[in-house]
Amino acid sequence: MINTSQIARIALIALLIAGCFYVLRPFLAATLFAAIVCVSTWPFYEQIRIRLGNRDTLAAMIMTLLMLIALIGPMAYLAENLADGATMLLEQIKLALENPKPHAPSWLANLPLMGGQIDDFWQRRVASHEDLMKLLSQYYEPMRKFSLQAVQLVGGGLLQLLVAVFVAFFFYRDGTSLGKTLVTIARRLGGALGQQMLELSSSTVKAVMIGIVGTAAVQAAVALVGFLIAGAPAPVLLAAATFFLSMIPVGPPLVWGSAALWLLGHGETGWAIFLGLYGFFAISSVDNIVKPMLISQTARLPLLLIVLGVFGGAVAFGFIGIFLGPALLAVGLALTRHWIELHSEEAGAVP
């Protein structure tokens, strides 16, 4: 029977755990992301540490510097250009609302099947300027809010990445002792099964992150080549957007499709067609060719969980949740499958 002193100790431990979680809650996403990155890149860190004579601090500093170059640089570029682009876009929309053109843009009027109808509708609305202003103003405010939210999301993601890089330094430096502590905890809580689950989680995180980041990098590189050849505006920014949206099935087509429409609107019909074909056959096909080569079959996530992981992760953790969500769901799915297999084997072994 539990006495009063035991209840008091349990209550104090519960309060301590709750207090620690409350203090660390603002940094939870960045800490999880740093842990995932460190686990995924640990073999590379080990090679650097061995070549430096097992100097943990120096090796951790080099890995942190590489993370700054690989993560913070592109993210800062994306945040700066996205803010400028959103401001410019909103100004152009506002000018268009105040001084509407008598005809629809040529790229819009020349659309097959519906272009003529759109142009007729545009001319009828321009005839009544007040009606046109009311119609288009309904969409201006939602677009303005969406643009501001996108800028805030990317800006918040930049701050989260800075925290993650800072935390990653200590994970790299003290990773060996932290790993031994985790193994000890896993053994105490679950015995051999606990250690097995920990190893499965580590291998799953490595496979998923290599598949996600590797595919995104290749897709962005292929997209950058197409944007440069076609003369699309801000090709580096578009390639960065392709990188971050590559996990969403419709993400890359939104980027190269918008760039193709921009070229079409500026009279570059040939380059617009080229970019559309290049995007469909080259950029979008990377996901079907490269990802299976980088990610193991056991760690592959169903499409539904990828989409839920991306959007759910972004809602729960902010920008870095785009990468964090699918990785966490992959670990959960792998552990669930392993648990089901173990119980199936046990049930089959029972006479």
Tokens of 142: 């939602």
For 17-32, what is each residue's pLDDT tens digit?
888 888 888 888 888 8
Give the Cα separation of 246 and 283 in Å (integer): 10
Give the pLDDT band of residue 243 (cuts 50, 70, 90).
confident
In the prediction, which pLDDT does 170 show? Answer: 93
The counts of H helices and E strands in the chain are 14, 0
Find the radius of gyration of the CA atoms of the chain: 26
For 177-203, what is each residue's pLDDT tens digit?
888 888 888 788 777 777 777 777 777
Give the pLDDT band of residue 225 (cuts 50, 70, 90).
very high
Average pLDDT, the chain: 77
Is-above-0.75 flag for pTM? Answer: no
For 40-69, what is each residue's pLDDT tens digit?
888 899 999 999 988 899 999 999 999 888
In the prediction, which pLDDT does 298 show? Answer: 46
Domain ranges of the chain: 200-351
Burial of 134 per CB tally in 10 Å (0-12, 13-18, 19+): exposed
Q: At what angle do helices 28-51 and 303-317 cross, to 10 degrees?
A: 110
